[in-house]
Chain A
């Protein structure tokens, strides 16, 4: 960067400026990993989407009901097995 020399016409100044802008604002290539990582992030639901799912009470009720039912089935099977094993002994 040099000190200003009054040897250029205003048009030349603008041309130099445009040339330097073209040299400074060049398209960049983001790393491939970054593009892949971004792609994966886009396929993932965003935080706001996840929050939205939890405001859907019907869905929350179904998920909760499903989890509780599954646990009850597991407990019943475990109790039955325990009872059967106890009787044999």
Chain B
């Protein structure tokens, strides 16, 4: 069956749960990916993903298409919930950065997923020390494969501002690697 988001959204905003179920099926993996990379563990990623969709279901009656895609609206909910989660977490305890479990990635052999290289671990740790908006940018760009314009719609920034932020983020990461006297080998 063809996925017609506009029509589905119209029904969902009138309280049709089946239509919301279709939206859920379409976006659950993407939201889970985003939350997983922002929180670093599957348990909290699952909990927060559920809360994102519960909140979306509660407020979808107020959703109006103002040129911002529905996905941007969902990511903003996810972003707010993750921000609250980090705030609450920082009051209690620090997140062990080594705990990011290895989940199967798409299009890879299962054996390859079992091994995450030392380089990737170091890089993940560095990414998670970046400010939240830079982490968002990298996740949306690499995990979600979004364009600068799409990222801009989610982050409430212009395409040019996203491009500039991306460049600054790469330079910051490169400098961090240099500070630690580390070099990423070419593939």
Contact = CB atoms under 8 A, between A and B. Distances in A.
A35 B139 CA distance: 20
A42 B24 contact: yes
Interface of A: 1-5, 8, 10, 12-14, 16-31, 34-35, 37-39, 41-43, 46, 49
Interface of B: 17, 21, 24-25, 28-29, 32-33, 36-37, 42, 46, 49-51, 53-54, 57-58, 103-106, 108, 118-120, 122-124, 127, 138-139, 142-145, 170-171, 173-174, 177-178, 181-187
A30 B103 contact: yes
B139 A25 contact: yes
Contact of A46 (B37, B54, B105, B181): B54
A24 B124 contact: yes
A39 B20 CA distance: 11
Consensus secondary structure, chain B interface: helix
B97 to A, nearest CB: 13
Contacts of B118: 1
Contacts, number: 124
A28 B104 contact: yes
Given A25-B142, A26-B106, A31-B103, 11 more contacts: A3-B182, A4-B182, A10-B174, A18-B170, A21-B173, A24-B142, A28-B106, A30-B33, A38-B50, A39-B21, A46-B54
A3 B182 CA distance: 5
Nearest to A22: B142
Contact of A25 (B37, B42, B177): B37
Contact of A2 (B58, B139, B183): B183
Given A17-B173, A21-B138, A38-B28, A26 B17 contact: no
The 10 closest A-B pairs by CB, nearest first: A25-B142, A4-B183, A26-B105, A28-B103, A24-B120, A41-B50, A42-B53, A16-B184, A24-B123, A30-B32
A23 B120 contact: yes
Contact of A5 (B36, B124, B144, B183): B183
B172 to A, nearest CB: 10
Contact of B186 (A3, A4, A16, A49): A16
A42 to B, nearest CB: 5
Nearest to A13: B174
Given A17-B184, A19-B187, A42-B24, A29 B29 contact: yes
Contacts of B178: 4
Given A3-B181, A39-B21, A42-B24, A19 B186 contact: yes
B106 A37 contact: no
